[in-house]
Structure 1
Amino acid sequence: MQQLESPQRSRGLAVAAKPDRRPLLVDRLGLWFSKSSTIDGLWIGTTESKPYPALRRVEDALQLTKRYDTLNYFRITRNLDRIWVHLLPSGQAHYDRSLNACTLDERYVLNETKTLEQIASTIVHEATHARLEGWGIQYLEAMRIRIESICLRRELNFLAKLPDSEPLQDEIVRALEWCASDPDFYSDKNFWWRHQEGEVETLRYLNVPNWLIRWAMWLIHRRRQRASVSPES
């Protein structure tokens, strides 16, 4: 990316799943109905419609990774079971522990301003989350700054091997600086609010009627008011 992404849509920063969370029924159905392919044992799927451009972009990003960085490519295929493109309310991407999947937001992958190098770097980031989870390092609130910093440094390592990647490397350096300067961004409470606001954005993307969007916004506002007066807030 040519500039640092807004914190509202930062990749790798989704709602933290409980360590023992099982795949939701809606996720299992989504996987079942996804268009998919397999590359070196890694399942890649998408819920989009034909001609599946997001699926092709992810496949091309993986081939780019394999060409320039065999170590990170090996870690992706070893540590992840899936890369799944669908609509994510709370971020451009996140690691879903229940599916052992790098999940990518359809809008992010299809954004013409995003390059294959950026998509590949994002996958490297989420595969690092998977690797850390495999070592027993859970994405708990107190650990999130350190975990995100590790994943961003892995992106830097990957990007350094790509030609003409200096602007992308600069972006990651700025992200590391911002990561350390705003620890409250990683709180459970703020994750939850961003998820709810992202659901409104997703409704707009799906062209849901305005009356339903207004109702969702009113509901979020009411929840914020209650949380602000709660003794536990």
Structure 2
Amino acid sequence: MAEPDWVDRLFFWISPGIEFEGLRIGALDGDSSSEVFRRVKDAIQLIKTYDVVRFRMVVREIARIWIRLLPGHSAAYRQDKKMCLLDRRFVLSSQPEFIASAIIHEATHGRLIRWKIGYTEDVRHRVEMACVRRELAFAGKMPNAETLVAQTKAILEYGPEVFSNEAMTERSFAGEIEAARGEGIPD
């Protein structure tokens, strides 16, 4: 369940943050924030260097990037704040090209929302595939990105059942359990 709007705004406001390439980047992770900022800046720089079209889309569709614990997902888009959320575990464990790809994916969600394309279960698979194709277009412009290309192409093989309400709820619940364990909460 999403946090109430005022809680989300408060935590982003009090989070340490930086400005980079027109984006406000915040991190709700005090002791590793310099590392997460460096990694996200590297990812944004990759987008700007190798795919200026998608860089412009990112800057147009995303005003804020917030790195925090994001149970069940590596990234998400908050339409009401033009915000890309990135899971801090994902940021700290991923290469910059994978972080860049996630940012592009979420910016594509923003673009589709702006075009009034919903995210109901009946269209979710098509929406996700459109986002993945934007990731693949970016990955194809990067040198030495064979792993990113292969993993992105594999996602294109997913069927609609992967994006059903039931499957997404199950993944979200499993992610919350995993996050709680990772934070030291006992079973």
TM-score grouping bracket, smaller chain normalisation: over 0.9
- Please give the alpha-carbon distance, in whole angstroms, between the structure 2 residues aligned to 1:184 and 1:116: 30
- Matched position secondary structure for 1:98: helix
Q: Find the partner of 1:100 among 64, 75, 82.
A: 82
Q: Which residue pairs with 2:105 in the alignment?
A: 125
- Matched position secondary structure for 1:148: helix
Instruction: Determine what percentage of the aligned residue pairs are the same residue.
Output: 40
Q: Which residue pairs with 1:222 in the alignment?
A: none
Matched, 1:198 2:179: no
- Please give the alpha-carbon distance, in whole angstroms, between the structure 1 residues aligned to 2:32 and 2:183: 19
Pair member with larger Rg: 1
1:63-142 superposed matches below 5 A: 63-111=45-93, 114-142=94-122
What whole-Å deviation, never above 9, does each CA across 1:177-206 have from its counterpart, x for those lacking one? Answer: 1x2x3x222122332232222211111111
Matched, 1:145 2:122: no
Q: Scaled by the length of structure 1, what TM-score is found? A: 0.75
The structural deviation recorded for 1:81 is: 1.4
1:4-83 superposed matches below 5 A: 24-52=5-33, 53-83=35-65
Q: Which residue pairs with 1:218 in the alignment?
A: none
Pick closer, same or farther for the CA change 1:136–1:23 going to 2, 3 Å.
farther
Q: Which runs of 5+ in 1 are unaligned?
A: 1-14, 214-233
Report the structure, 1 or 2, having the larger helix content.
2
Q: Which residue pairs with 1:228 in the alignment?
A: none
Paired residues, what number? 186
Amino acid in the other structure paired with 2:37: L
- Please give the alpha-carbon distance, in whole angstroms, between the structure 1 residues aligned to 2:21 and 2:95: 23
The structural deviation recorded for 1:140 is: 1.1
- Matched position secondary structure for 1:130: helix
Q: Which residue pairs with 1:170 in the alignment?
A: 150
What whole-Å deviation, never above 9, does each CA across 1:53-106 have from its counterpart, x for those lacking one? Answer: 112110111011111111111110011111111011121111122322111111
Q: Which residue pairs with 1:186 in the alignment?
A: 163
- Please give the alpha-carbon distance, in whole angstroms, between the structure 2 residues aligned to 1:76 and 1:169: 20
What whole-Å deviation, never above 9, does each CA across 1:155-182 have from its counterpart, x for those lacking one? Answer: 11101111011221121111101x2x3x
Q: Scaled by the length of structure 2, what TM-score is found? A: 0.92
Amino acid in the other structure paired with 1:198: G
The structural deviation recorded for 1:51 is: 4.6
- Please give the alpha-carbon distance, in whole angstroms, between the structure 2 residues aligned to 1:102 and 1:83: 5
The structural deviation recorded for 1:146 is: 0.5
Kindly indicate whether the alpha-carbon contact (under 8 Å) linking 1:46 and 1:84 is maintained by their aligned counterparts in 2: yes
Kindly indicate whether the alpha-carbon contact (under 8 Å) linking 1:23 and 1:98 is maintained by their aligned counterparts in 2: no
Q: Which residue pairs with 1:224 in the alignment?
A: none
The structural deviation recorded for 1:23 is: 5.5
What whole-Å deviation, never above 9, does each CA across 1:24-67 have from its counterpart, x for those lacking one? Answer: 23312220221111123211111011351112110111011111
Q: CA RMSD in A?
A: 1.7
- Matched position secondary structure for 1:55: helix
